[in-house]
Amino acid sequence: MKRCPQCNRVETDEALKFCRVDGATLVNDSSSIGSEAGTAGLNSAPSASEVHTSILPQVTSANVNRATGPTTALPAQPAASTTVELSKPKRRKAAIIITVIVTAVVAATAALLVNFYHSKTSSAVIQSIAVMPFVNESGNADVEYLSDGMTETLIRSLSQLPGLNVKARSSVFRYKGKETDARTIGRELAVQAVLNGRVMQRGDQLILNLELVNPETENVIWTDQYDRKFSDIIALQNEIARDVSSKLKLKLSGTDQQKLAKNYTVDAEVYRLYLQGRFYWNKRTASEVQKAIPYFKQGVEKDPNFALGYIGLADSDEGPPHQEGICSQRARN
């Protein structure tokens, strides 16, 4: 047996010359030991020849191949599968909530902008209007005078309001019988509003449908239907004038309101005779003007204070006027 003088490591391989731990030269160890080298009997007195050993600090060298005990390969732990499975639904739910909130905010913002635009446009005062020829829906050409006459009366009433530009009869009646959209009319006449009307007479019943349109957007500003007896036609004309002026956002003084409420007669039959006379007179031919005169005369005979009837007679005696608005100007005076 051989022993390392440095670390006292005992080697049984006689062929070794150097210590496998520290490389020191091994020396022969010939001492007789009662048992295996480096061991002593329990409860026995120390022998003089016994080699004294001590616990030496363990020296580990990276160059020494040390046998290792069997190892057990632990299975790889799943990378927080439960957490991933739980986090996916949470993220999906959060995304849905965020999407709903963003959509609601966008919708609310759009609604506010639309309301602001509509409130701004609806609150703006309309300063120009074209009262288009009312359409006769009665299917009877004999009552064509009624739709034309109600149109002219409304033009005359609205033209008395300050700050409102009302297109003349000659400008709007050239569109009569033509399918022209509000946008085209608004562009050609340069107006902010177009008023369309449809008249139907059934016996003593008079039905009028009105529609006020924004020509720029072609949106309806206001619409209404009036169902009255023909005997109430004068009051109906005044009511229409008031309603239209209110929808135009016009601020009327007391004097302006009196102008709208002004009646030239309280007799519906006198007013009907005048509308018939004016219908023929507006055809602008000598024969048609002659047809108008009897209606004007019957009107003033029934109501001697009917100023419009006298104006009709004066216009007929003078012949057709060369300038638009003579009759309306005289009626205002």
CB atoms within 10 A of CB 301: 12
Judge whether 154 and 244 are in contact, CB under 8 Å. yes
The per-residue pLDDT for 41 is 45
Domain boundaries, the chain: 1-33, 86-123, 126-260, 264-333
Which residue from 287, 272, 299 is spatially nearest to 142, judged by alpha carbons? 272
Per residue, what are the HEC states of 180-240?
CCHHHHHHHHCCCEEEEEEEEEECCEEEEEEEEEECCCCEEEEEEEEEEEHHHHHHHHHHH
Please tell me whether residue 87 adopts helix, strand or coil conformation.
helix
**What are 55's two structure tokens?**
């616990």
pLDDT at 81: 52
What radius of gyration do the chain's Cα atoms show? 57
Are 238 and 276 in contact by the 8 Å Cβ rule? The answer is no
Q: Which CATH architecture has domain 126-260?
A: 3-Layer(aba) Sandwich (3.40)
Q: pLDDT (tens digit, 0 to 9) for every residue of the chain, 333 residues total? A: 788 888 888 878 777 788 878 888 888 876 544 444 444 444 444 444 444 444 445 544 444 444 444 555 555 555 555 555 556 677 788 888 888 898 888 888 887 776 665 555 555 789 999 999 999 998 888 899 999 999 999 999 999 998 899 999 999 999 999 999 999 999 999 999 999 999 999 889 999 999 999 999 999 999 999 999 999 999 999 999 999 999 988 887 888 888 888 888 999 999 999 999 999 999 989 999 999 999 999 999 999 999 999 999 999 975 444 444 444 444 444
Q: At what angle do helices 307-318 and 268-281 cross, to 10 degrees?
A: 20
Q: Which of 203, 195, 198, 278 is nearest to 241 (CA)?
A: 195
Query: Does this model's pTM top 0.85?
Result: no
Which residues, in sequence order, are CB contacts of 198 under 8 Å at separation 6+? 134, 135, 137, 208, 209
